[in-house]
Structure formats: structure tokens, C-alpha cells
Structure 1
């Protein structure tokens, strides 16, 4: 048995067999004497850290001197942290589909919605919240109510209602198409026939400041969409219309002055 000493004071024992070059180099690096064999040691751009696990390859990673640990790639954006309870989009979608199916087959839900309604968002429970229910929002046009159906993991159902003047979800694509069609018909009946070259858009309408001051309500009592027709690409629209989807009527329409 032979004890071999290194120049930095470290030592190892040779036990009756020849050490390979790789073994010696590994021991030298492990004992802190590897500065001369590192191909990155003479790079002016390298980060030198007291932390033996520093990933300072060509400055591409942060070092402990940056106050960031574990090392992170530099100049990287749109980073999304994945937690242990994160679920894939496929699993989340299947859960929402299952919850909607349970809701739509429930007798109480059918009675609450009637036949004239639109379905909006479906929200899974927040993993950090106490709720374990999947919430599905509907707008019932006959009574101008937002109906929320909560489906628990045990497939039990809770139904709540809010009047339209208290809350309304944003417009859906189906509603936007319907409102644009109604507005286009009304404008064409007024003699405005150049709509084919214009792009129609529709958004949920909100009461004016004066209307809010008079009623104290932040939403209309019925389902109202504001429609415009214009060339698009950031240019001002030419025509506008206020459409009431609860009644399928156009309240007013015409050119934008």
C-alpha cells in the first residue's frame, strides 16, 4: 500500500493496483486542484463562484454571485413554473367535459335553464382553494339571469342565480355572430349597403356613466352587445349598433359621426 501526496496537501491511497489517468484527474479536480485542466478557467466571460456546483458555462447560466440558485439560463422569457399538482391540458379538459355532462343531464339544471340559454365558461377548482367544485356559467335570456352550476367531485350539484344587472360574463363567439347579423340587417334596412367590405365586431355593452349614476348598476338588465362595422387594421369604424340579445332586437343603429 502506498500513500501518494498531491501538491495541494491532499492525499490518496494506492491499494495494490495502478491508477488510471482519469482517476488521478478526477481526484485532482475534486480536491480543488483542477484549475489548470478546466477548458473554461481562462475564459474572460466565465462566472467564477465559490459554489462548487456553479453552472457558469460561457456565462449562459446564472451563478451564486447573481443571487440566483439553482442556476437558471440567462435571457430566457415566458418561463412557466410547474407544480407537483399541475395537470395536463388533456386531463383538465376531460374533467370539464365530465362536469358539463353531469350538469346537463341533471333534472334541476334543465328546469333552471329552460330552453333559451347560452353556456359560457367552465372553471375547475383552484388547487389552493377550499372549493372542490367545477363551476359552469350560463346566461338565461328569458329571465335575464346568470345561472352558475357547481359540480362537486362527488357529482353533487348546486345551482345559484344572479340577475343580469349584477353580473354578466363576456360575450361568446356565438353571441357576437348573432349580434353582428342582427345589426347588419338593421343597417341595410336603413339604406347602408356597403357593409360587405367592412368587418363587424361585437362586445358586451356596458351602461354609460350617466346610466350608472342614475341606476347604480354596472351592467344592463338585459343582454346587450355593442356592434361596430369598419375596415379594421386599427382604423375607425363607420357604423355602430346596440343589439339586445334578450329580445333579438336592435335598439339603435347608424353611422358613427
Structure 2
């Protein structure tokens, strides 16, 4: 496993500007090593008289003692690498404060066998702004995709916006002896999930049950239809909204009130065993 991060400040261009690059690589391989040998053993069979007394014993030997043999088996391999680079900016001037970054990220996993390469890419912008430490805004926009989905549906945009107002910093509350901290916040955004079944848009075929034919009732194998292709699959999406209030009262009581809304769409559902109720 290898992890490497490099960061370079670019104040020579403009104060607060920097860039960093991160790379990770992991190559996991599984082997089994072992040793085997055989041993000679014997079976003892007693002969008894009518009173149950042993009168004779027969020994029969089986197998043989062998030398120690070694073996080695390859179990599997998985290679993972991740790359991320960001251009970061942080600046404070007067009552204003701004920091954020533009990021590109890629994760790739390669396993053995066919259809076992997974690639995810993400281009994102994140910015945080505050004015007088009272009025806050947080913006995130992500454009992400995966090779799990068919071309044309691999990438989606995921924006999110959060706003905050620290009322306890206002003049009408700053001198309050009861309210130590009071913040109102609201946010809304879209998230997604692309971890769906690989190659779900392709029609699947597999080994059939066979067919018996001819005078000798011979069996012939063949193919049969398996999983049906899913028409136009895409990332699953979720719209979420939240409004809330945070407070600290009399330096002793903490309070948080939230109202939350979520609506999911483009959700893939299992269709096994489901048939149409309409006869054609």
C-alpha cells in the first residue's frame, strides 16, 4: 500500500492560493501455501470366543508413509488506486471570509475476471462564505459518474446549498443574559447512488436445463434467457431539505430543533416474481 500527498502554496500568485495532489495505490494478492503427507495406519480386528474373551488379534496395515509435499495456490488479486487534486483558496478581508476548493477525484478498482473494473470520477466545487461571522453560506456542486452505468447516463450533477444566520451575534441579542448562542440554518441539495448491479442494461443469457431428443433419448444443452435488460438505468437520486435551530440557553441548556424532508426518485426496485395484472 502506498499513500502520497504533496501540497504547494501559491501565495506568489495570490495570497491564500494553494494546490495539493494525493495518490493512493494498493495491490492485494492472496496465496495459499501448504504441506501434505500421508501416513501408514493399521486396523486391529480381535477374535473372541463364546465367553467374550479375546483369543486372537489380526492386524491389517493400510497406506504408506510418504515424504512431505508442498503446494501453492493463487487465490486472487485486486488493485486499487485513487487520485485527487485540489486547487484551494482561503481569504479574509474586512468582515468577509471565503474559503473553498475545486477538486477532481478518481477511484479505480481492478479485480480478476471479466466485468470487474470499477471506475468512479468526480469533479466538485465547494465554497464557504461568512460575513461578520453572522451570515453564512455553504455551496457544493458535484458532477460525478461511474462506468457501472451505460454511456449517456454515467454522470449526474449534485448541487447543495446551506445558509446560516447566527442571531446571537446581532445587536438585539448580543447582550442577552439568557441566550448565549442562537443560530438558524437551512439547507437543500441532491445526492445520488450509483452502486447498482453491474451491466444491468445488458440482456443476460446462461446455461439451459437441456433438451432430450432422438431414439436414444440423448440430452443436448443450450442457452436460456436470464436477467432481463433494464431500460435506461441511471443513478438513484434523493432531494433533501432541512431547516433547523441551534441554541445554548443560560450557558447550561443546549437545544436543537430540526425539520427534515427527503424525496427519492430514479430508484431501482426488484422485479422478481412480479407479473403484470393485465392480460393481452
Calculate the TM-score normalised by the size of structure 2: 0.20
Higher strand share: 2
Higher helix share: 1
Q: Relative CO higher for 1 or 2, CA cutoff 8 Å, sep ≥ 6?
A: 2
Calculate the TM-score normalised by the size of structure 1: 0.21
